[in-house]
Structure 1
């Protein structure tokens, strides 16, 4: 038997993360504890410390052997049963049973409210097998979001034997309330405990150290007592982690559990009393995704989609902040009426805003960009959320004074760069999207109210005028008619997912195609005017179009025919046709290409349409479907939509290997519960409803810009020319027989506007050019807009 020394086989096999198929997540509400844990396949899964965006272990499970031929790994070889000990309280009871009846493992898992410790109280029951069974704890450290650069060793703290690992400034310690019979640390796949036990049935190798690689810590547990406590503790040094581990065990599991549960019960008791099956679980899920050390920062998911195929090149997974998902979560907290949570979220948004008024595509909790795309809905939605906060008294007047300059920067960015978006809400395509335009228009009206509150009447008027002009162009940009798909479904037309062309209206797209992301070669090639998406329903959700608008009804008919899938658990919808983000046809994990699967959150969005249309019972049916899609109360990003593939864990109507839980889905679920209870869409903006549904406001302007200007001016409207520099506009309405000069008006936000109307009733066009004042030069090119009857 080997003793001492460095383990051979460095650096081990290439590190991988763990399954995103979560059956539970947990953390203490107490600010003294900075650790968050997840569960999957009956064992402790990823743990996060000291922040919710830093994963620190792959997993920690038990192995049972008899020292000879019997080998059972808890996560792979037992039957699992996991439940919370009380509804909405993320403390877990797990039973893992050997299918042959040789043993049963019963666990309770919590986080210590006062320490950075995950506690597991475990009872091991063997049914008198011969030879006697042995039990081993196996921990795979992936500290600091990295699996391939960890160092581990055997040691002790104050005479107590433990197993340690460290990477950078984060350390982990594993301790047991009973003693370790044997311990070892090694490189995964070559000299680790799993390999040793699988080959020999016992810890034949007892290595003391394994440095800078993909490592595993293994300890044999003394079974002289069937009940014991395992502590997995974290710290900035191994001594800090060790102190937390020893203190947690000495303080006692029952004491920690009592406080942990009490704090969660106190919070849950502040929430609305809704009887929906997963309401309390969804509320707790949102709360657990908020960062303790960055108040208001909510990550998208405590998971890495298809994590068991991802390595150190994918450090973020979904455990970073998407501003869109964050605002969706804020909507969930609005529905829960937890004002303090909303206030923290708005403050976090303001503190992470870029200097130009935008927000990153997604970011680490400290605000550092992770991906760098620009999505205009992620600039629009925070503006909406700020007004909601003010109107619901979560943002007071003094706070608003501090926020307004930042909100104004976001408005300015929106006005200058919208309505075109570099990325739609699915982060894949650029152009004019019904969803993005709906959020932008609603945000402009919200921004107008904020401007008025802060005494900027001119800006408020311009925001409303721009919202009206953008609203009037939605159909021009995104509604198609007379296509083969329209004929197939017996409608005159429908809204498309996106129009990538700034200078081509939807009616003139013809046979142009788009090559969608997540496909090999040109397999994503799709006619733009046949690209259908659920996104058009946002026009109803945000109050821009009535649910019985014939264009909406036409689009809904096509959406349900092309994107709806019925499962044993209920109806669900795809994001858009020919989506490539999901498992392959044979069930293999998404690897940059695949086939998009159905999204439960879209069932929630579809249900909100039903509420807007007055069909409350239909919405209840879809809420029940969301309940059925959940795994132990946790909602996945996607569900499987084909025949079962049991060997790959895929079952029709159940979760895939995508992210789980998804905070956005839980926020949508909570809002749906409240919307059903109120019998109206909870978060529909009042400003848009009043302006476009009740008053039917239309624009007096038609806007021309260098990037996406109009080509036609309806008679009776004013041509508004928007520029980024001061100018004198030289123009004519009679082919330069008569020339007019109009000075641009400075809006004091980096935009200049010049409004002109034809002087001659018989005019058929407006032609114009620019003299740039600061540069002192002419544009040297004429531009033209046709004048036509509307």
Structure 2
């Protein structure tokens, strides 16, 4: 477009509604040094979300190159080029080779960060047909989304120390009250520069209009803005080479000085120091793990680095789920979380993945971070920002249990250092006892009830806490937790396995995804069957209601993982058959599994993103890793072989070694960037998947599942300890209707109490004082009534009576 004269303020405010980028990143990176508080992502050949000064705060949408001859074309790097990417060993730097569709020229680009400063470095070489390369007009185009949002950004062109730079700033936002500044510069001069509002006066819109850059405004205030700078790189020895530098700061001066300091050092020096840093952590990887892989350790090394990179540097120990915003292209500023949040489940898996590789430092920091993030009642938020502020508040009992697994692992290998996790352990164990076994959400964060995977984590967590406390000479609490875990384990199959399944002919008895129950519901007497619940993420107008016996997932495999069930247990065996028949997805790149039949969380069949709360569930590679762990437990002597699942994970990895959350299982849709067996637009990388891969290699090497809880295996698999079977646990949040006459009723509360009880309709009353444990759980054991008779009781807490009676009926 033609602008009559250069004016200061751009037109078209506030610009179009901002969006993020595709969640399937092709690269993620950071310097290994803690001083470099910056992380970058790559997709489709260009720089996408950059996080600063913490790993949960994105600051840009993307930064790419545009090319024009000024008269007949404008080429956009992410749309008009075929891209190829490779990770540069030994760290998380990348080389991108983007070749124009005409094959007449290409961009060879390396992306790293400054080894110590909050600055991304992008070294670019333009090479190809001299007649084209020499005459190209090259532009850098950056879309700031400062402080986690594309709205209310202000952009400007400034001169600092004789150098023209492009800047953006924002005060506060949805995620922070702080101010953020961005400064974009280059080691060669800028020619024309301009800032504008996206969709109206930005460089992309301008260049695509008439192939000329006329929108050279110097300021664009409070909107969705873009920065454009013409790069005057000379043509020398057949190429045009330059380094773009993107710096951040908490103020104008800090961004300016960071930019200029980084530009003052040649790119080659930055590169050498960047990769020298990344050589240091490689020495921790257990040497022979690579020999367990099918790719010579390539994905192992990438997975290890990816897990390290997902730790924040201002809040040590905080490990996020992914540096991505799933289906970000369909999400605006209202969706602030993405996956750049802490989930205790994902975080502990990441930490134990690093432990499996031989590195304990991060896991130790993670435990300390979790202890500082724990609520006073012992629970955790469903997920939270790295400063501990909750994002979602769903109750997931497995997320309360997972830190117990980590604490016990670190205790076993003497890696707790000077930190005492006793408060974390006792509070989490107390919460699980008082508030279980019904979870508000299972691991897929959608349904409440009795879940095999959640109960597996809870039992394993309680026994881990028991082992921890026993080593700390608290035998009383340890024995109480053993008893409670035995009660859960003894009821697992009745609560979680249907006897009337119809998913696979000849296998009516198998585990279900969940036995639907609300919090505080009476625990069931019969196996799950026709109890109904609604599936989430379903297409509007479709039937969402399913019966418990109709919906299946592979969460039962966690029972084998932790040593709660033998791999050759008949119920496990039959459930594996159902798993392979109902949920297995076999692709040319490998095999993995859907989460459950009827899942709606995934890319739609037409290739459009999951949005408006519905889609179509897709297979998850990490679930193939879980299946591989089952093969390890089964053992070579009994036909177990995890190699298929190891090779599948390697097949699903991107060329730069990133594992996706979900893969596309339909024919290729190139226009939607979807290839069979490759990532959908959901999260890539998923740290949990990388951890699962490392643990699978370690488990294969050891001939035993790395995550096995010794205390569980001793009781339920090896038979070295006899589980207790004569107790029925009862609490206000988990009442039962009936009790076998050969059992004892253990009533449990979180505070001291007096129990008034009777077996004969209150004719003979007994008053008993609760027994206290050091972990803050209080209980009393009551005799079971005879068959058909009732035991009745009520409580007094302090000076106050409960105000209601409770009862339970005796049964055979």
Which TM-score applies when normalising by structure 1?
A: 0.95
Paired residues of 2:325 and 2:683 also in contact (CA < 8 A): yes
Is the deviation greater in 542-551 or in 453-462?
453-462
Paired residues of 2:499 and 2:527 also in contact (CA < 8 A): no
1:224 and 2:239 equivalent? no
Q: Secondary structure at the match of 1:334?
A: helix
Q: Secondary structure at the match of 2:675?
A: coil
Aligned to 2:300: 279
Aligned to 1:655: 679
Aligned to 2:325: 304
1:274-316 alpha-carbon deviations (Å, 9 max, x no partner): 3233000000000111101111101110000001111100122
Aligned to 1:513: 532
Deviation at 1:341, TM superposition (A): 1.4
Q: Secondary structure at the match of 1:378?
A: helix
Which of the residues 340, 353, 373 maps onto 2:374?
A: 353
Aligned to 1:620: 643
Is the deviation greater in 48-57 or in 451-460?
451-460
Aligned to 2:560: 540
Which of the residues 324, 341, 356 maps onto 1:320?
A: 341
Aligned to 2:278: 264
1:81 and 2:84 equivalent? yes
Q: Secondary structure at the match of 1:455?
A: coil
Aligned to 1:529: 549
Aligned to 2:180: 170
Aligned to 1:489: 505
Q: Equivalents in 2 of 1:716, 1:55: separation in Å?
A: 60
Deviation at 1:602, TM superposition (A): 0.4
Q: Secondary structure at the match of 1:484?
A: coil
The verdict on how the C-alpha distance between 1:778 and 1:298 changes in structure 2, with shifts beyond 3 A counting, is: closer
Aligned to 2:126: 124
Is the deviation greater in 143-152 or in 122-131?
122-131
Q: Secondary structure at the match of 2:641?
A: helix
Aligned to 1:684: 708
Paired residues of 1:725 and 1:772 also in contact (CA < 8 A): no
Aligned to 1:448: 466
1:754 and 2:780 equivalent? yes
Is the deviation greater in 349-358 or in 660-669?
349-358
Q: Equivalents in 2 of 1:370, 1:128: separation in Å?
A: 53
Aligned to 1:182: 192
Q: Equivalents in 1 of 2:516, 2:232: separation in Å?
A: 65
Q: Secondary structure at the match of 1:164?
A: strand
Q: Equivalents in 1 of 2:31, 2:750: separation in Å?
A: 51
Which TM-score applies when normalising by structure 2?
A: 0.93
Q: Secondary structure at the match of 1:100?
A: coil
Q: Secondary structure at the match of 1:161?
A: strand
Q: Secondary structure at the match of 2:229?
A: strand
Q: Equivalents in 1 of 2:584, 2:802: separation in Å?
A: 55
Deviation at 1:771, TM superposition (A): 4.6
The verdict on how the C-alpha distance between 1:763 and 1:95 changes in structure 2, with shifts beyond 3 A counting, is: closer
1:566 and 2:582 equivalent? no
Is the deviation greater in 543-552 or in 733-742?
733-742
Q: Equivalents in 1 of 2:635, 2:457: separation in Å?
A: 23
> For structure 2, which runs of at least 5 residues remain unmatched after alignment?
172-178
Paired residues of 1:727 and 1:771 also in contact (CA < 8 A): yes
Is the deviation greater in 712-721 or in 364-373?
712-721
Paired residues of 1:483 and 1:493 also in contact (CA < 8 A): yes
Paired residues of 1:151 and 1:209 also in contact (CA < 8 A): yes
Paired residues of 2:738 and 2:808 also in contact (CA < 8 A): no
Deviation at 1:706, TM superposition (A): 3.1
Which of the residues 394, 404, 412 maps onto 1:383?
A: 404
1:230-265 alpha-carbon deviations (Å, 9 max, x no partner): 111111122221222222122110111001011111
Is the deviation greater in 208-217 or in 349-358?
349-358
Q: Equivalents in 2 of 1:558, 1:746: separation in Å?
A: 45
Which of the residues 657, 674, 694 maps onto 2:698?
A: 674
Q: Equivalents in 1 of 2:676, 2:17: separation in Å?
A: 32
Deviation at 1:587, TM superposition (A): 1.6
Paired residues of 2:19 and 2:330 also in contact (CA < 8 A): yes
Is the deviation greater in 500-509 or in 309-318?
500-509
Q: Secondary structure at the match of 1:89?
A: coil
Paired residues of 1:78 and 1:99 also in contact (CA < 8 A): yes
Q: Equivalents in 1 of 2:222, 2:658: separation in Å?
A: 35
Aligned to 2:596: 576
Q: Secondary structure at the match of 2:717?
A: helix
Aligned to 1:41: 44
Which of the residues 635, 638, 641 maps onto 2:659?
A: 635
- Equivalent pairs, count: 780
Which of the residues 621, 636, 643 maps onto 1:600?
A: 621
Q: Equivalents in 2 of 1:337, 1:219: separation in Å?
A: 46
1:26 and 2:35 equivalent? no
Deviation at 1:661, TM superposition (A): 0.4
The verdict on how the C-alpha distance between 1:549 and 1:202 changes in structure 2, with shifts beyond 3 A counting, is: same
Which of the residues 311, 314, 323 maps onto 1:290?
A: 311
Q: Equivalents in 1 of 2:780, 2:788: separation in Å?
A: 20
> For structure 1, which runs of at least 5 residues remain unmatched after alignment?
none
The verdict on how the C-alpha distance between 1:522 and 1:458 changes in structure 2, with shifts beyond 3 A counting, is: farther
Q: Equivalents in 1 of 2:804, 2:283: separation in Å?
A: 69
Deviation at 1:740, TM superposition (A): 4.3
Q: Equivalents in 1 of 2:246, 2:751: separation in Å?
A: 60
Q: Equivalents in 2 of 1:541, 1:176: separation in Å?
A: 52
1:769 and 2:788 equivalent? no
Aligned to 1:215: 225
Q: Secondary structure at the match of 2:92?
A: strand
Q: Root-mean-square deviation (CA), in Å? A: 1.9
Is the deviation greater in 512-521 or in 592-601?
512-521
The verdict on how the C-alpha distance between 1:144 and 1:470 changes in structure 2, with shifts beyond 3 A counting, is: same
1:673-708 alpha-carbon deviations (Å, 9 max, x no partner): 111122221111111000111225242201223332
Deviation at 1:516, TM superposition (A): 1.1
Aligned to 2:176: none
Q: Equivalents in 1 of 2:380, 2:795: separation in Å?
A: 34
Paired residues of 1:766 and 1:787 also in contact (CA < 8 A): no
Aligned to 1:420: 438
Q: Equivalents in 2 of 1:167, 1:780: separation in Å?
A: 57
Q: Equivalents in 1 of 2:473, 2:6: separation in Å?
A: 76
Aligned to 1:707: 733
Q: Equivalents in 1 of 2:804, 2:152: separation in Å?
A: 60
Aligned to 2:262: 248
Deviation at 1:126, TM superposition (A): 4.6
Q: Secondary structure at the match of 2:526?
A: helix
Deviation at 1:585, TM superposition (A): 1.9
Deviation at 1:741, TM superposition (A): 4.2
The verdict on how the C-alpha distance between 1:236 and 1:776 changes in structure 2, with shifts beyond 3 A counting, is: closer
Paired residues of 2:81 and 2:99 also in contact (CA < 8 A): yes
Deviation at 1:339, TM superposition (A): 1.9
Q: Equivalents in 1 of 2:348, 2:801: separation in Å?
A: 45
Paired residues of 1:282 and 1:666 also in contact (CA < 8 A): yes
1:549 and 2:549 equivalent? no
The verdict on how the C-alpha distance between 1:742 and 1:115 changes in structure 2, with shifts beyond 3 A counting, is: closer
Q: Equivalents in 1 of 2:525, 2:682: separation in Å?
A: 33
Paired residues of 1:701 and 1:717 also in contact (CA < 8 A): yes
Paired residues of 1:643 and 1:651 also in contact (CA < 8 A): yes
Q: Secondary structure at the match of 2:642?
A: helix
Which of the residues 102, 110, 113 maps onto 2:115?
A: 113
Paired residues of 1:499 and 1:506 also in contact (CA < 8 A): no
Deviation at 1:724, TM superposition (A): 4.5
Q: Equivalents in 2 of 1:120, 1:778: separation in Å?
A: 67
Deviation at 1:752, TM superposition (A): 3.1
Aligned to 2:174: none
Aligned to 1:157: 160
